[in-house]
Amino acid sequence: MIGKKVLETDPISFCQVKELLEERMKVQELSYEQNLALDHVTKFSKISVESAQKMIAELEETIKTNLAVKMADIMPEDMADMRLMFSKERGTHKKADLDKILEIIDKYRE
C-alpha cells in the first residue's frame, strides 16, 4: 500500500468496534468484511461501551492494556478461563491479582 503508514495502534473492545461500524453504516454501505465483523461483534459483545471503558480502566491498574481489552471482550467466568488467557504471557501472576481481576469483571457482568 503506497503512501499509507500506520501511525499508532490502540486495542479496542468488541463493543467499541460495534459502535464504530454502526456509525460508518449510517454514512456509507459497509464492505463484505465490515459486515462480517459487525455480525461477529454483535453476537459476542457482552457489555456496553461505557461499562467496557470503565472496566478496562480498572483492569489497567493490574494488567497490560492489551490483556484488559481481551478480558472485556471475553469476560472470563472462573479461574480456569483466566489462566488460559494468561498462558501466553511471560512471568507469573499472583492468585490475589487473579482474584482481584475476576472481582472487577464480575462487577461489570450484565
- Domain hosting 38: range is 14-44
Residues 68 and 27 reside in one and the same domain: no
pLDDT tens readout for residues 3-45? 788 888 899 999 999 999 999 999 999 999 999 999 999 999 8
Amino acid identity for residue 91 in this structure? G
Residue 98: give its domain's CATH number. 1.10.150.80
Q: Are residues 60 and 85 in the same domain?
A: yes
Does residue 7 lie within any of the structural domains? no
- Average pLDDT, integer, range 86-110: 86
Q: How far apart are CA 7 and CA 34, in angstroms?
A: 22
Residue 102, classed as helix, strand or coil, is helix
Q: Judge whether 94 lies within some domain.
A: yes
What grid cell was written down for 20? 464504530
Question: What is the reported pLDDT for 1?
Answer: 53
Which amino acid does the sequence have at 17? V
Q: Do 36 and 69 have their domain in common?
A: no
Q: Which residues contact 101 (CB under 8 A, 6 or more apart)?
A: 59, 62, 63, 71, 82
Same domain, yes or no: 53 and 27? no
Domains: count for the chain: 2
Same domain, 37 and 54: no
User: Does 9 reside within a domain?
Assistant: no
Contacts of 73 (CB under 8 A, 6+ apart): 13, 14, 44, 45, 46
Extract the C-alpha cell encoding 77.
467466568
Together in a domain, 96 and 70: yes
95 shares a domain with 55: yes
Query: For 47-84, what is each residue's pLDDT tens digit?
Result: 999 999 999 999 999 899 999 999 999 999 999 988 88
